[in-house]
Structure 1
Amino acid sequence: MLSLDLHPIYRNNRDIELALRQFLFTAARSGESVVEIIPGKGSGQLKRRVLAFLDQKHIRKLYLSRESAPGNEGRVLVHFRDQR
């Protein structure tokens, strides 16, 4: 499973958005059905930022659905359409 850990760049908004954008486009092309983004638990601010990014109309077209990982609120799972 492809994974993006945002802990190392959590303070820089531009780096976060760039990392998310690159990761999602790479994931969409990879054929993976599910990928994970790890904003961590913390205060929840970074996770809210990630979810807001994922909810943008032009980004939403890239994937099928998103959810918090069951049992681990510090992970966001992004589901892609089956490309087979």
Structure 2
Amino acid sequence: MTLTLDLHPLFRNERDIDRAVRQIIFRAAATEADLVEIIPGKGRGQLKARVLAMLGQPQLKKLYVRYEVDPSNEGRIPVRFR
């Protein structure tokens, strides 16, 4: 199962971004999803850097196996769970 989080509508509110990323990671771990696709968009890379920093937090890092930066699409971050 794949879950997708598009951050385009939330890009101006940092609290909503943090909440959305945490919620989808926790939901994926609870439902045993295989993959979460987080879409921060291409832009200047600020939102992507924020998401990558969040994924590096210890409380979230223990829930997933790894994340990748998609070389064919810089505006997409796949997070693997199994």
Q: TM-score, normalised by structure 1?
A: 0.92
Q: How many residues align?
A: 81
Structure richer in strand, relative to its length = 1
Deviation at 1:75, TM superposition (A): 0.3
Structure 2 unaligned blocks of 5 or more: none
1:50 is aligned to 51
What do you get for the CA RMSD once the two structures are aligned?
0.8
1:68 aligns with 2:75: no
Deviation above 3 Å: which 4+ runs of structure 1? none
Identity %: 58
- Residues in 1 aligned to 2:15 and 2:7: alpha-carbon distance in whole angstroms: 12
Q: TM-score, normalised by structure 2?
A: 0.94
Q: Secondary structure at the match of 2:74?
A: strand
The within-5 A match list for 1:1-84 is 1-81=2-82
